[in-house]
């Protein structure tokens, strides 16, 4: 399914009287309708993106409020010279099974800004990406805090693709005009609690080698845990505990690794008691004694 997360400038131009009042509530000096250009855009929605993350629909209203008054920049470069617009109104829109944040922003007319306005009108500048902080990310498969349950984004579990659901908006930083649409690959800037990703820190401080080692070890750990979960599920089914496979997988998905290991050993011991290993040919049978005098 194609996911579009781009600015929609279908309604743009001179602000209405109500919009102008909202703009002047943010401006230092009072502006008139001829001085500003307004346009609408779609900031972010509740659909799964290419990072296998999505915003929780319940989080969108709170996030929408945080974006009021936030600036619009270019390519997420945080500098005053890149500030080109500011959001003055937001709302959550529900249509065609998707909820998204629609925002209205304004640009001051004149100078280089007229080129940006012309690009918006021409449909050249239309994709945007958002920068914000979310307090929680939960696993779509089991509902646990993502990263603690063993389920991996993008992997399929019983036909359900795992993704991280972003909840509890903490802050909104900006929106940015980008070449890649928002919530798509490198154009996405979504942080949990405002923290930066380990990969970004490794690149900044020249620790890419150490990061690659850690990433490789983490991947081996994820594979080991997956094998451990599969073994526990297999043993549980073999012992006929009366629990279905989906339930077993949900339980193993949220259990700690040490608990899984202990459970695996206990189930193996139980299975060995129920199905002891027996020899087909006994090794302790007595051999008939034969008089050596009859041996040829």
pLDDT, one tens digit per residue, over 63-100 is 999 999 998 877 656 655 667 889 999 999 898 888 99
Structure tokens that stand for 173 in this block: 């930083």
- Residue 57: pLDDT over 90: yes
pLDDT (0 to 100) of residue 138: 94
pLDDT of residue 126 exceeding 80: no
Q: What is the pLDDT of residue 137?
A: 92
Which has more pLDDT, 87 or 13?
87
Contact criterion met (CB below 8 Å) for 122 and 3: no
Rounded to the nearest 5°, which phi and psi values hold at 161?
-80, 130
The rounded distance, in Å, linking the Cα atoms of 175 and 86 is 9
Please tell me the predicted confidence (pLDDT) of residue 189. 33
Tokens of 20: 């102008």
Q: Among residues 173, 141, 115, 136, which one has the least CA distance to residue 249?
A: 141
Per mean pLDDT, which of 140-149, 206-215, 241-250 is the most reliable? 140-149
Which H or E run includes 39? strand 36-45
Average pLDDT, the chain: 78
Cα dihedral across residues 11, 180, 123, 86: positive or negative:
positive
pLDDT recorded at residue 7: 36
Does the predicted TM-score (pTM) go above 0.85? no
| Mean pLDDT (whole number) for 168-186 | 69
144 has a pLDDT exceeding 90: yes
Q: Which of 98-102, 174-178, 218-222, 279-283 is predicted most confidently?
A: 98-102
pLDDT on residue 255: 81
Distance CA 195, CA 204 (A): 14
pLDDT at 160: 92
| Model pLDDT for residues 225-263, shown as the tens digit of each residue | 888 889 888 988 888 888 888 888 888 888 888 888 888
Across residues 51-73, what is the average pLDDT? 91
Above 60 in pLDDT, residue 280? no
User: Where residue 200 falls among pLDDT bands split at 50, 70, 90?
Assistant: low
User: What is the band of 4 on the pLDDT scale with cuts at 50, 70, 90?
Assistant: very low
Query: Looking at residue 176, what is its pLDDT?
Result: 82
Q: What is the pLDDT of residue 191?
A: 41
Write the CB contacts of 291 (distance below 8 Å, at least 6 apart in sequence): none
**229 burial level (CB within 10 Å; 0-12, 13-18, 19+):** buried
Quick one: tokens of 199? 């990969």
CA 124 to chain centroid: 28
Lowest mean pLDDT among 146-160, 182-196, 247-261: 182-196
Per-residue pLDDT averaged across 53-60, rounded? Answer: 93
Ranked by mean pLDDT, the top range of 23-37, 180-194, 240-254 is: 23-37
Return the residue matching tokens 């943010």: 26
Angle (CA) 108 109 112, round 5°: 100
Q: Among 24-33, 118-127, 214-223, which stretch is predicted with the lowest mean pLDDT?
A: 118-127
Nearest residue to 92 via CA among 83, 84, 82, 102: 102
Percent of all residues in the chain with a pLDDT value above 90, rounded to a whole number: 23
Distance CA 126, CA 120 (A): 6
More confident residue, 100 or 186: 100
For residue 174, give Cα distances in angstroms to 11, 43, 74.
Answer: 21, 10, 10
């Amino acid at each position: 399914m194609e996911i579009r997360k781009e600015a929609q400038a279908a309604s743009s131009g001179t602000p209405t009287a109500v919009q102008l009042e909202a703009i002047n509530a943010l401006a230092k000096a009072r502006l008139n309708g001829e001085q500003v250009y307004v346009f609408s855009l779609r900031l972010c929605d509740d659909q799964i993106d290419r990072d296998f993350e999505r915003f929780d629909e319940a989080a969108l209203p709170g996030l929408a409020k945080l974006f009021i008054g936030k600036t619009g920049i270019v390519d997420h470069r945080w500098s005053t010279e890149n500030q080109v617009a500011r959001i003055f109104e937001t709302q959550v829109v529900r249509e065609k099974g998707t909820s998204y944040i629609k925002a209205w922003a304004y640009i001051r007319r004149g100078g280089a800004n007229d080129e940006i306005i012309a690009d918006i009108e021409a449909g050249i500048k239309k994709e945007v990406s958002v920068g914000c902080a979310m307090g929680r990310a939960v696993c779509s498969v089991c509902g646990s805090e993502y990263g603690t349950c063993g389920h991996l984004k993008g992997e399929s579990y019983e036909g359900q693709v795992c993704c991280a659901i972003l909840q509890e908006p903490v802050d909104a930083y900006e929106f940015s005009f980008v070449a890649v649409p928002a919530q798509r690959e490198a154009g996405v800037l979504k942080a949990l609690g405002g923290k930066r990703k380990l990969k970004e820190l490794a690149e900044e401080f020249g620790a890419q080698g150490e990061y690659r080692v850690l990433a490789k070890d983490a991947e081996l750990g994820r594979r080991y845990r997956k094998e451990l979960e599969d073994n526990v599920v297999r043993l549980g089914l073999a012992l006929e505990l009366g629990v279905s496979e989906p339930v077993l997988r949900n339980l193993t998905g949220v259990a700690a690794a040490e608990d899984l290991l202990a459970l695996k050993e206990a189930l193996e011991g139980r299975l060995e008691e129920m199905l002891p290993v027996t020899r087909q040919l006994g090794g302790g049978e007595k051999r008939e004694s034969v008089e050596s005098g009859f041996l040829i």
